[in-house]
Structure 1
Amino acid sequence: MNSGKERKISKKVCLLGPFAVGKTSLVRRFIYNRFEDRYVSTIGVKVSRKIVMTPHNNEIIELSIMLWDIAGADEVDELRRSYLNGVAGAILVCDLTRRETIDKMTAYAKAIHAITPQAPLVLAANKLDLMPERAISDQMLQNVAQQLGSSVHLVSAKTGDHVEALFKELASLLVQNV
């Protein structure tokens, strides 16, 4: 029941995935609703923030999401592992046009859960706009999502398709235990 009080909470969310899967583009689309065609590799980590109003138990929570866009890599090394401290949830990003990117998701999930065992994960299969070049089947995505205990969202940072739903689902998961 909403007592008229505003509840404000802040949560750290990491985006993890191999190089050039579209992590930065997803963040840019979610926060600024724009897309840039030119690719500039993220170095280290870039932190952004967005406030999302999230319903929970008959009240609205003002959720400040701190988005940590971590540079792509094939594995989570010690430097990247240090960026995960304090993580509350994660978006694991693969590229629908590159089959090998889905194979990295389990390692990213293990790295997150080594820090925060109950952190919710959401799998984002990006580049939905490139369907003719698609290399990852729905069945593959469902199998990986099941292994991770996560949902899967087919998204396009370029067109914006399903990006808002991806982040809203994670926001909802983040406030479940507050």
Structure 2
Amino acid sequence: MEKNNSFQMKICVVGTFAVGKSSLVRRFVENRFDSHYVNTIGATIRQKKLIWDGLSINMNIWDMEDNTDVMHSSYLWEANAFLAVCDLSRLQTIPFLWSNIRQLQIHYPNVPVIVAGNKVDLVKQPRLPLPDDLQESVEAVVLTSAKTGENVYRLFSLMANKMVAPAAVSVY
């Protein structure tokens, strides 16, 4: 993975429909938000370069469609990290999040998972406690807003940091 102080990183973004996967990626890559919803078909690949502690990190971010079959898809092959997203304003998306993570555990047990509880701007007292069986599988939980940009850069920086210097579970 390392070459001349640079890293190539494949991040796969998973979650059910309309949780803000594409919006999080757009906010991070382009620093903009578009309220017009467009359903992702297959995968959209975006790129962003970060400089982290003197290292150049080239992030290839795969924004995945909402499809449970995608968990078995070749799209996920060679992923360095998974970003699992739910919508904090739609509590029914949270069980799907946990289910997705359990599937990732089975099929990709050595790939780190970071959780984004998105749309924090729409919730008065946001919380996203991890189920006991996922405590060791999830590297971090970050509460985000693609709309306002809250914690979006921190989310992707944390993913880069986990690849460069793995650490214990963190909650932001």
TM range (shorter): 0.7 to 0.9
2:88 is aligned to 96
Number of aligned residues? 162
1:39 is aligned to 37
2:76 is aligned to 84
1:150 is aligned to 139
Q: What is the distance in 1 between the residues matched to 2:30 and 2:106?
A: 32
Hey, which of these two has a bigger chunk of helix by percent?
1
Pick aligned residue for 1:64 from 58, 61, 75:
58
What are the within-5 Å matches in structure 2 for residues 105-120 of structure 1?
Answer: 105-120=97-112
Structure 1's 148 and 169: CA in aligned 2 closer, same or farther, altered over 3 A?
Answer: same
Q: Please give the TM-score of this superposition, normalised by the length of structure 2.
A: 0.85
1:167 aligns with 2:156: yes
Gaps of 5+ in 1: none
1:49 is aligned to 47
Structure 1's 6 and 82: CA in aligned 2 closer, same or farther, altered over 3 A?
Answer: closer
Q: What is the distance in 2 between the residues matched to 1:94 and 1:143?
A: 13
Structure 1's 98 and 117: CA in aligned 2 closer, same or farther, altered over 3 A?
Answer: same
Could you say which structure has the larger radius of gyration?
1
> Deviation per CA, 1:100-121, whole angstroms, max 9, x where unpaired?
1111223322333344322111
Q: Please give the TM-score of this superposition, normalised by the length of structure 1.
A: 0.82
Q: What is the distance in 2 between the residues matched to 1:79 and 1:104?
A: 12
**Would you say the 8 A contact 2:9–2:57 is kept in 1?**
yes
**Would you say the 8 A contact 1:15–1:70 is kept in 2?**
yes
In structure 2, give the amino acid aligned to 1:67.
I
Q: What is the distance in 1 between the residues matched to 2:76 and 2:63?
A: 11
Q: What is the distance in 1 between the residues matched to 2:49 and 2:107?
A: 24
In structure 2, give the amino acid aligned to 1:65.
M
Q: What is the distance in 1 between the residues matched to 2:70 and 2:37?
A: 25
In structure 2, give the amino acid aligned to 1:12.
K
Q: What is the distance in 2 between the residues matched to 1:8 and 1:156?
A: 29
Measured after TM superposition, the shift of residue 174 of structure 1 is: 1.4
Q: Secondary structure at the match of 1:150?
A: strand
1:26 aligns with 2:24: yes
Q: Percent identity?
A: 36
Measured after TM superposition, the shift of residue 147 of structure 1 is: 6.0
Over the aligned positions, Cα root-mean-square deviation in angstroms equals 2.1
2:121 is aligned to 129
**Would you say the 8 A contact 1:84–1:112 is kept in 2?**
no
**Would you say the 8 A contact 2:71–2:100 is kept in 1?**
no
In structure 2, give the amino acid aligned to 1:18.
T
> Deviation per CA, 1:13-71, whole angstroms, max 9, x where unpaired?
0000000000000000000000001101111100011111122xxxx221111100001
